[in-house]
Chain A
């Protein structure tokens, strides 16, 4: 699986995660999938809705009503939800056990490490079918 992202979308994500720092920031990818390439057509930037603000430095939540709204928007545009992104403030761009427990296969999970307020590392992950691990996938940035 490859996640293909436009430079403009990457810039929007960078601004969103750097503005959100030191809290985690998150969002939803809408687009099309063909032959293992997930092409992002639209980006939804989402507020971190984790209930306890003090924990938002290491936890995030996109509530189901937000996902349902994105599903309906995607379906109306002939698109699909391809995956999600979130930031890891002052922490590597690697999924945690907590991430793994709350994931499904197929989706692309982009994690952006934000160190001292600067987005530094971008990595895409996919959950294995048996739910045992995340496998790193390729992020492709296009004009």
Chain B
């Protein structure tokens, strides 16, 4: 399946300025792997040291947050669009170690 991945502005420097990258993939996870194989510098901004998606990095298939679908196992239909969207978190005191994947 061909999926279009929308690249947010800060990460376009790692995709040679491209806003949209089209990859062949059957699932969201496969799409991410195809993207980061093509543009390895994206990895550290999407994944943490353990290779897991950073907690503030969110993926939307169309208008749906894939966390509420089947996560990286979510199947992609031909022509769908995958958006990489940050949630913005932070705060004044030094780290409490709490994750932001709360809602």
Q: Which residues of A contact B (CB under 8 A)?
A: 24, 26, 28, 33, 50-51, 57-65, 67-68, 71, 80-81, 84, 86, 88-91, 95-99, 101-107, 109, 130-131
Extra inter-chain contacts (8) besides given A61-B100, A64-B87, A67-B87, CB under 8 Å: A50-B91, A59-B96, A68-B85, A84-B88, A86-B90, A98-B96, A102-B55, A106-B9
A123 to B51 CA separation, bound complex (whole angstroms)? 32
Residue of chain A at shortest CB distance from B67: A64
The 9 closest A-B pairs by CB, nearest first: A106-B10, A99-B90, A91-B92, A88-B92, A64-B58, A59-B91, A62-B88, A97-B95, A104-B10
Inter-chain contacts of B98 with A (CB < 8 A): 59
Encode B27-49 as 1/0 by CB contact (under 8 A) with A: 00000000000000000110000
Encode B9-21 as 1/0 by CB contact (under 8 A) with A: 1110100000000
A80 to B13 CA separation, bound complex (whole angstroms)? 15
Q: Is the CB of B89 within 8 A of A71?
A: no
Q: Is the CB of B91 within 8 A of A58?
A: yes
A60 to B90 CA separation, bound complex (whole angstroms)? 6
Residue of chain B at shortest CB distance from A81: B9
Q: Which residues of B contact A (CB under 8 A)?
A: 8-11, 13, 44-45, 54-56, 58, 60, 65, 83, 85-96, 98, 100, 102-103
Residue of chain B at shortest CB distance from A106: B10
Interface residues of A, dominant DSSP: mixed
Q: Is the CB of A62 within 8 A of B10?
A: no
Inter-chain contacts of A130 with B (CB < 8 A): 44
Inter-chain contacts of B87 with A (CB < 8 A): 61-64, 67, 102
Q: Is the CB of A68 within 8 A of B44?
A: no
Inter-chain contacts of A65 with B (CB < 8 A): 65
Indicate which residue in A68, A95, A97, A105 contacts B83 across the interface (CB closer than 8 Å): A68
A107 to B45 CA separation, bound complex (whole angstroms)? 13
A126 to B103 CA separation, bound complex (whole angstroms)? 27
Residue of chain B at shortest CB distance from A91: B92
Indicate which residue in B44, B55, B88, B91 contacts A67 across the interface (CB closer than 8 Å): B88
Please list 17 pairs of residues, one from A and one from B, whose beta carbons are closer than 8 Å in the complex, sorted by A's number.
A28-B88, A57-B92, A58-B93, A61-B89, A62-B88, A63-B103, A64-B86, A64-B87, A68-B83, A86-B88, A88-B92, A95-B90, A96-B94, A98-B90, A99-B90, A99-B91, A106-B10
